[in-house]
Amino acid sequence: MLKQRVITALVLIAILLPALFAPDAWPFALLSLVAIAAAGWEWGRLNGAGAASALLGGLLAAACAAALWAGWGEVAPRLVWWLAMGGWVLGGAFALRGGPKAWPAIPVALRLAIGLALLWTAWLALATARSIGINFILSAFCLVWAADIAAYFGGRAFGRRKLAPAISPGKSWEGVWSGMLGALLLALFWLGLNGVVHTDSSSLYQRLYGHFGAAGLALIVVFLASMSVVGDLFESLVKRAAGAKDSSRLLPGHGGVLDRIDALLPVFPIAMALITL
């Protein structure tokens, strides 16, 4: 299993890095479009779409392509980000409060529409972040990864109080706090690189610091780290409600696309909303 995970990870990196570091933004936009379409197919399978799941993935890809054609991959309406942020904060709290038992009670059509909206706004935020610059999108990616890694090790070392035992028994409050600390340390480190390392764009942390100052930056980084946990828990809730361990087997050793991007889904649209203030 470990060998399989490593091989899959190396293949994904070999595909991702050339698209991410390409001179133009469109290769990454197209690659992420394919990934998000696969995530749409997985969402359909987890939420009762059956054979129509492929159609759902195709519809999502078409919606992303239409946004790219309209130029939204570079500059999207601000309202999109704020609607996504409201949906994640309010809708995420509502869904997590209801737990896995309440999710199947929501009509299938509504659950499919929710997934399409969340995945589309996440893709749009990814494409827009890449159009801003490599340094910007990497700083946002690394915030999520740093929070996840710090939460894992902090939870293993200090975890005592369960965060959401009915959804994800392995997560603890201590892990969440460790993840927040890890994200704060990363932001501090990234800001320290400003002026030392030449980059193509300002980072997410530089923009937030410029808008809100040190205290505002710290609060927002903590908020984004917490929302990455919400994204992770929300996907776990949907899988548990469907009786599935992984969203699919598209990525050998890693599960599905949704399993890899769940924590990113709320963070990127919310980050885009906050930098527009």
Q: What is the pLDDT of residues 194-236, one digit of tens each?
A: 878 888 999 999 999 999 999 999 999 999 999 999 999 999 9
Query: By percentage, how much of the chain surpasses pLDDT 70?
Result: 99
Q: Which two tokens stand for residue 4?
A: 């399989």
Number of domains in the chain: 1
Tell me the pLDDT band of 177, cut-offs 50, 70 and 90: very high
pLDDT for the residue numbered 1? 60
The boundaries of the domain holding residue 93 are 2-275
Q: Which two tokens stand for residue 73?
A: 């991959």
Residues 222, 220: Cα–Cα separation, whole Å = 5
Q: 198: helix, coil or strand?
A: coil
- Average pLDDT of the residues of the chain: 94
Query: By percentage, how much of the chain surpasses pLDDT 90?
Result: 87
Tell me the pLDDT band of 162, cut-offs 50, 70 and 90: very high
Q: With 80 as the cut, is the pLDDT of residue 114 above it?
A: yes
Look at residues 43, 164, 147 and name the one whose alpha carbon lies nearest to residue 93.
164
> pLDDT tens for residues 225-234?
999 999 999 9
The residue assigned the tokens 């987890």 is 46
Q: 269: helix, coil or strand?
A: helix
Tell me the pLDDT band of 7, cut-offs 50, 70 and 90: confident
pLDDT for the residue numbered 125? 97
